[in-house]
Amino acid sequence: MIHLLAGGPGSDHGHLVALLREALTASGFDAPRIAYIGAASGDDDGFFRRLSPLLQAAGGGDIVLARTCRPAAARAPTAEKILSQSDVLFISGGDVEAGMRTLEAAGVIPVLRERFAAGTPFIGLSAGSIMLARKWIAWDNPDDDATARIFGCLGFVPLICDTHAEDDNWSELRAVLRLSDVGARGYGITAPAMLRIHPDGRLEPRGGNVVCLERRTDSVTRIS
């Protein structure tokens, strides 16, 4: 089971802890050892210090930062060991494209795929949720839509999603869908919400609304 949380600036900590508790309870572990993956924020220690107490308040045990941004010779064995020995893998927020590049440069994507294939629970937050999905978008020139390009993410959940972007009407998610096949769907996880993906592929919104957009022939349309 995978859980995708929106989070975002100004998130209510009590509500976030409640959602994290649901996700950790569903993992089946008592006080699980959690590997914290901060690739999307450059292993920002401030993020780690703010989120670790929330994970522990939600029922987590040891929270260990699996560093992926240090020099390659120093980082990879330690990160791989942490990822291999943890009960739950948590991918934090930041920048999606930078996060994927960091994971690739660190050489840890194979071990993440191994843990996923073995049924290890994953939790994403904000950009981390998007990284667990199929793909995302970036612009070589933010002022020129012609420079938009799609890049692959981990693909552990078979969908496209965005998080806490309801205030701009999911503009980046809509951009991804415009570059996708007709019939493609994307899910917008609103700031208070979490999307639970069951092993059979069933989607279950928790704690808030999750909207669904669909690529039509000449438009991207909200269908729920």
CATH number at residue 152: 3.40.50.880
**Tens digits of residue pLDDT in 163-214:** 999 999 999 999 999 999 999 999 999 999 999 999 999 999 999 999 999 9
What 3-state class would DSSP assign to 40? helix
**Which pLDDT does position 211 carry in this prediction?**
98
Helices (H), 123-168: 127-132
The whole domain housing 143 covers 2-157+202-208
In a domain, 22, yes or no: yes
The predicted model scores a pTM of: 0.96
**Tens digits of residue pLDDT in 116-139:** 999 999 999 999 999 999 999 999
Tell me how many domains the chain contains.
1
In a domain, 39, yes or no: yes
d(CA 69, CA 198) in angstroms, rounded, equals 31
Q: How far is CA 8 from the centre of its chain?
A: 12
Provide the β-strand partners of residue 149.
Answer: 138
Helices (H), the chain: 13-27, 45-57, 72-85, 96-106, 109-117, 127-132, 171-178
In a domain, 169, yes or no: no
**Which pLDDT does position 75 carry in this prediction?**
61
In a domain, 44, yes or no: yes
How deeply is 147 buried, as exposed, middle or buried, from its count of CB atoms within 10 A (0-12, 13-18, 19+)? exposed
> What would the mean pLDDT of 16-41 be, rounded to a whole number?
97
In a domain, 187, yes or no: no
**Tens digits of residue pLDDT in 72-96:** 556 666 999 999 999 999 999 999 9
Q: What percentage of the chain has pLDDT greater than the value 70?
A: 97
Sign of CA dihedral 50, 209, 29, 90: negative
